[in-house]
Amino acid sequence: VFDVISVERFDAIILISESFKKDEEQTALAKRAHKAGIPVVAVDKRIEHCINLRYGYQKAFREVMQHMVEYHGYRTINFMGGARGNLYSDERLQMYQEVLEEHGIPFEEDRVFDGGFWEAPTREAMDQMLSSGKPMPRAIVCANDAMALAVIEYLQEHGYRVPEDVAISGFDGI
């Protein structure tokens, strides 16, 4: 459908970049619009020939981590990321690592799990977490809210009280 859009009919185009399944589609659309002299605004992903806008996710996620460490005093915090290689998940993992380091808390790779941003893979990651043999963390910081909700439900099904036993943080605004 993007191939048949007549970009010349628009004054400008706004791409909500995460709505596209394939980057090639929006890149091709942006390129055609650029050739036609039509401005394109890409929201949340860097695309050549566009005005690129990105939200301040890194700063906001850093603040979530700082709140867990500084306000609540948690020192054992697991990270439930989306997927390695995903920009949003990788940025949030980086903030997790930086905040731990800034507070003298050792980073432990085996406290990092990938929940794929959705419920089913998060539940599988929680199975791995519980069977790892490591003591339960005092908190689990999740890279999005869908995973946080899945973690809460999973923990409650396994007899944990949230937040009394394990505090959970989501991210993204659900």
Buried b (16+ CB within 10 A) or exposed e, 36-59: eebebbbbbbebeebebeeeebee
DSSP character for 76?
-
What's the confidence (pLDDT) of residue 3? Answer: 75
Cross-strand bridge partners of residue 80: 113, 142
Please identify every stretch of the chain with a pLDDT value under 70, giving residue numbers as ranges: 1-2, 21
Q: In the prediction, which pLDDT does 25 show?
A: 85
The whole-number pLDDT of residue 35 equals: 94
Query: What pLDDT does 19 receive?
Result: 75
The residues, any chain, with a CB within 8 Å of residue 14's CB and separated by 6 or more, are 40, 41, 43
Say what the pLDDT of residue 56 is: 84
Give the model's pLDDT for residue 45. Answer: 83
Condensed to tens digits (0 to 9), the pLDDT of residues 124-140 reads 999 999 999 999 999 99
- Note the pLDDT of residue 73: 97
- Position 18 scores a pLDDT of 74
